[in-house]
Amino acid sequence: MGSLGSTAQNTEIDESVTIALVGNPNTGKTTLFNGLTGLFQRVGNYPGVTVERKEGRFDLGNGRTVRLVDLPGAYSLSALSPDETIVADVLLGRQEGEPPVSAVLAIVDATNIQRNLYLVSQILELGLPVVLALNMIDLADSRGIRIEAGEISKQLGVPVVPVCASRKSGLPEIRAALTAVVVSPAPPLRPTVPEFPDILKDQVEFLSNGAGGSNANGYVNRARVFRGIIDEGGYAEKKLLEHRGEGFRDQLDQIRENVSGGEPLSSLESAVRYDWIGSVLSNAVTRSDRLQETLSDRVDRYITHRFFGTLIFIGIMTLVFQAIYAWSGPLMDVIDSSFAWIAGKVGSTMPEGALRSLVVDGLIGGVGSVVVFVPQIGILFLFLALLEGCGYMSRAAFLMDRLFARCGLSGKSFIPLLSSFACAVPGIMAARTIEDKRERFTTILIAPLMSCSARLPVYTIFIGAFVPDRTVMGEWFGLQGLTLFAMYSVGALVAIPTAYLLKRTLLGGGTTPFILEFPSYKVPDLRTVFLRVYLSCKSFLERAGTIILAAAVVMWALAYFPRSPDIERNFEARMDEVRSRPNQVAVEAELSNLEAELASELLNQSFLGRAGRIIEPAVRPLGWDWRIGMAALASFPAREIVVATLGTIYSLGDVDESSEDLRQAMRNATWEDGRKVFTLPVALSIMVFFALCAQCTATLAIIQRETQSWKWAAFSFSYMTLFAYLGAFAVYQLTTALGWGG
């Protein structure tokens, strides 16, 4: 964390004032927030949950800078989702570590003003100074909805400011209105609120006084009790029972029975509020009685169409994938070679030894292995932000819901899982948009099974070396391409029953509720898009960087120690002998051979090499020798390390996945009795292992971060490793039995 920018840095922030920005989802809230605060934002998390907390510095215009908190989008204070729980907690003053809210800036979408005023009616009951920002009034106007802001202000008793957040118009007026409500000791107008039945009001009054409601806290106490009564089985009820004791439950049930006579209380609340909204708007809004068909609806005839919609969807997803793979390639190469260059420069200035190896291989190599993912994450989040910003994302979730409902998930799981084909880290981060906790956790736990781009080098080298390059079924399918497709599918195929089982056992509870708003299509706000890309990359580097770096250093130490002076002396002697030869051209080649052989020898007797030999009995059933076992062990921090490890094992120095030398070395490798180590079944078994295994510290760190528990990270690691082992075992035994081993 840490605020950005420079100029307003110097102004002292007035800690006594906190303004909360509240509104429905898709109302342009983030755009307004960015317009009011600019780059002076801090993004973090509310403690214990993965709801993003955004705070900005807001200049009131009279020399005072105050805190503006962008609360998550919410439809109601009934707190049906984690986002809404945070909104309710902050506004009701029970969010840990949050300062009390001094004033509320409520943003309202003018094209859907009835629905938006529902939340506003709840906020007005809190007795806080409120300023209403009426956004998209021009769009409403073009749809034939005429809104009198002055009349609404009169009816509600709070200032109402028409704004256009995307064009930044109306911002000075917002500033002035907020300054007025913050500076004046009491709000100049008393807001009007909906009238609930007397029996309910009396109960709320009685119980909130009993809760020790002084005048200052009266509104908040009443709101807490009110929500506790209305939200049957909900979060507020839980809080109320915590406060008054479990014995209060019977009394609560009696109150509810008296108030509504058995009808759901949400029915009563919504009826009263919408009645009130109707009377507030009766003189302020003129519109036709009929439901309107907008341009968005006409576009949706194609976008959500069974046939065309699916076609468009596939087109967009292909483009996203192409971009993640193709566009990120050159950038990743640049990052790779820059780190190699830095490592070379630093390495040449340091004396040979453990310290140099730690800095060059452990630290610089470790940082490089994290930074190299940034282009993919940046591009993915660029597309996610663009698609989200223009309103397509909810349509995509709609199209995918059918498929996902079958394994107990919903369409909302689609984007996280698709993203995981590039990299599970941003995929798991994208799962935050899923409100239902069980569905979110299930998605997070299966996301690492999607075949991420780091697995591709593994597939490339083994397919290139061991799968025959010929076509099957006529000229249609190349065997190598089919194998690649099979490897990409295996994770997804395993994910389906895994999700199904998780939803029926650990994260049980049937299919999750699915209700999703279709916002109107609009041009995405570029500032919001780029800010999101920037913040995603930054938080990835911060979160994953620390842990993967630590893991890389540990793995370096295991592969480096213990050093045997005997071996080094032995090779030093042989090198000296070579150097003394007369033919200098041959000497160079001989020396680099010897160095590679030394590295291989040292690796073999390091802790890692010893571990490889210890686990050999365990990996024999997979068709592996101890060297493959060691390479697999070395890849647990990050799976793509396996290629470099194999290079060292086979004394080849630096290699990459396209290295023909490495392929040849693997083809030549033999057991003690002269049989080939690598056969087609062995190659398939290794690939299936890598397809299913949780060999990525960054992913495990993000799982811990997003589930707030090491337990779930440990669980994914264990189940994936188990699946990987069983899968590799089954594939090896089956293909060997089929005689594919030759």
Partner 1 sequence: MASLGRGFVAFFILNVFRRRPMSETVNNTGSLAGMSEGEDGLVENIFGNSVITTRLRELGVTPGVRVRLLRSGCPTVVQVEGGRFCVRRKDAESIKVRIPGQER
Q: Which residue ranges make up the site for partner 1 (CB under 8 A)?
A: 75-76, 78, 80, 109, 111-115, 118, 143, 145, 232, 264, 266-267, 269-271, 274, 289-292, 296-297, 300, 304, 306-307, 310-311, 314, 317-318, 321-322, 325, 394, 398-399, 401-403, 405, 411, 481-482, 484-485, 488-489, 511, 513-518
The residue among 289 and 352 lying less far from partner 1, judged by its C-beta, is 289
**What tokens appear for 15 in the block?**
């800690």
Q: Which is nearer to partner 1, 403 or 506 (CB)?
A: 403
CB of residue 112 to partner 1, shortest distance in Å: 3
For residue 602, how far is the Cα from the chain centroid?
40
- Please report how close the Cβ of residue 518 comes to partner 1 at its closest, in angstroms: 4
DSSP 354-416: HHHHIIIIIIIHHHHHHHTTHHHHHHHHHHHHHHHHHTHHHHHHHHHHHHHHTTT--GGGHHH
Q: How far is the CB of 146 from partner 1 (least distance, A)?
A: 14
Q: Which one, 55 or 237, has the nearer CB to partner 1?
A: 237
How distant, in Å, are the alpha carbons of 104, 183, 608 from that of 137? Answer: 20, 28, 66
Considering the complex, state which of residue 299 and residue 726 has its C-beta at the smaller distance from partner 1.
299
Q: How far is the CB of 253 from partner 1 (least distance, A)?
A: 14
Rounded to whole angstroms, the Cα distance separating 329 from 326 reads: 5
The nearest distance, CB 102 to partner 1, in angstroms, is 27
Both structure tokens of 633: 């062990």
In the complex with partner 1, the residue whose CB is nearer, 433 or 721, is 433
Nearer Cβ to partner 1 (98/231): 231
Smallest separation (angstroms) from partner 1 to the CB of 110: 9
Pairing of strands 471-472, 160-163: unpaired
Give the contacts of 531 (CB within 8 A, at least 6 positions apart). Answer: 34, 39, 41
CB of 238 to partner 1, least distance (A): 14
Which of residues 276 and 678 has its CB atom nearest to partner 1 in the complex? 276
Shortest distance in whole angstroms from residue 588 CB to partner 1: 41
CB of 398 to partner 1, least distance (A): 5
DSSP strand pairing (160-163 vs 130-135): parallel
48-86 burial, b for 16+ CB within 10 Å, e for fewer?
ebbbbbbbbbbbbeeebbbbbbbbbbbbbbbbbbbbbbb
The residue among 708, 413, 698 whose CA lies nearest residue 548 is 698
Say if residues 713 and 707 touch (Cβ distance below 8 Å).
yes
Please, which residue, 268 or 701, has the CB nearer to partner 1? 268
CB 590, CB 578: distance < 8 Å? yes
Supply the minimum distance, in Å, between the C-beta of residue 511 and partner 1: 8
Taking the complex as a whole, the smallest distance from the CB of residue 135 to partner 1 amounts, in Å, to 13
Could you tell me the smallest distance in angstroms from the CB atom of residue 19 to partner 1?
25
* CA–CA dist 405, 420 (Å, integer): 19
Query: Do the strands 146-147 and 285-286 form a parallel or antiparallel pair, or are they unpaired?
Result: antiparallel
Backbone angles phi, psi at 574, to 5 degrees: -65, -40
State the nearest-atom distance from the C-beta of 166 to partner 1, in Å. Answer: 18
Smallest separation (angstroms) from partner 1 to the CB of 578: 47
DSSP symbol at 584: H
Strands 65-70 and 13-23: parallel
- In the 8-state DSSP scheme, what is residue 638? B
Compute the distance between CA of residue 469 and CA of residue 698 in angstroms, rounded to an integer: 35
Name the phi and psi angles at 631, rounded to 5.
-60, -40
Q: Is 205 exposed, middle or buried (0-12, 13-18, 19+ CB in 10 A)?
A: middle
Count of CA atoms in the C-beta half-sphere (13 A) of 503 = 24
* CB 369, min distance to partner 1, A: 25
φ and ψ at residue 213, rounded to 5 degrees: -80, 105
**Which of 307, 671 has the CB closer to partner 1?**
307
Q: Which long-range contacts (CB under 8 A, 24 or more apart) does 338-347 make?
A: 339/364, 339/365, 339/367, 339/368, 339/371, 339/372, 340/368, 343/368
Q: How far is the CB of 549 from partner 1 (least distance, A)?
A: 32
d(CA 218, CA 11): 35
Return the number of the residue (98 or 269) whose C-beta is nearest partner 1. Answer: 269
Integer Cα distance of 56 and 564 in angstroms: 57
List all residues 6 or more positions away from 742 whose beta carbon is below 8 Å from its beta carbon. 679, 680
Cα dihedral sign, 110-114-118-120: positive
- Name which of 116 and 648 has its Cβ closer to partner 1: 116
Nearer to partner 1, 516 or 578 (CB): 516
Identify which of residues 321 and 534 has a Cβ nearer to partner 1 in the complex.
321
What type of residue is 715? Answer: F
Q: Which is nearer to partner 1, 47 or 264 (CB)?
A: 264
Residue nearer to partner 1 on the CB measure, 22 or 702: 22
Total count of residues recorded for the chain: 742
Could you say which DSSP state residue 169 is in? B
Kindly state the DSSP code that residue 449 receives in the 8-state scheme.
G
User: With respect to partner 1, which residue has the nearer C-beta, 159 or 194?
Assistant: 194
Euclidean distance between CA atoms 699 and 540, whole angstroms: 11
By beta-carbon proximity to partner 1, the closer residue of 22 and 533 is 22
Q: Of the candidates 294, 372, 391, which has an alpha carbon nearest to the alpha carbon of residue 329?
A: 372
Q: Tell me if the bond preceding 562 is cis, omega within 30° of 0.
A: yes
